[in-house]
Amino acid sequence: MGKIDDKCKELVENVDDALGAAVVDLNSGLMLGVHHIVPHFTQTYLDAVAAAAVDMFRGRTISNVEQLLTEQRGSDASQSMQEVQMTTPKTYHFMSTVTGKPNALLVLITGKKANLGMGWSSLRSSLDDVAKLCP
């Protein structure tokens, strides 16, 4: 996990008001790497965030929608979810599947002082490097 952790740390350090970054395996829900600067981001909390992210990208309701799209379009729409942005009262969560690794997800969590464009730009510019580190 070390090198992925280092990439997550670099992402956090390069984005103003970044709180944490992680790479999640969308098949197992396990964290492949993580770095954060928030004391209350315990392992239990991180595991819960990873599980929620997996549900957003590969959960039953998403899979049902993708199956309906496959039937309507006549072409495979499975695993078509690529990016999600979630906003809470105090944070932004940027999530994207990793380039060439559709079962790996890069997540960046920032405070609300972060610039949305910088969050997306930094996340997306990290995808190729993370892909090289993912199994």
pLDDT of residue 1: 52
pLDDT in tens, 46-57: 999 999 999 999
Distance of CA 35 to the CA centre of its chain: 13
- How much is the pTM? 0.92
| Residues 61, 41, 88: CA angle, nearest 5 degrees | 50
**Could you tell me the CA-to-CA distances from 77 to 62, 65, 67 in Å, in that order?**
11, 9, 7
Sign of the torsion angle spanned by Cα atoms 26, 16, 92, 120: negative
Closest CA to 53 of 31, 37, 68, 77: 31
Q: What is the mean pLDDT of the chain?
A: 94
pLDDT of residue 2: 76
Question: What are the domain boundaries of the chain?
Answer: 2-133
Compute φ and ψ for 63, nearest 5 degrees.
-60, -40
Q: Which CATH superfamily is domain 2-133 in?
A: Dynein light chain 2a, cytoplasmic (3.30.450.30)
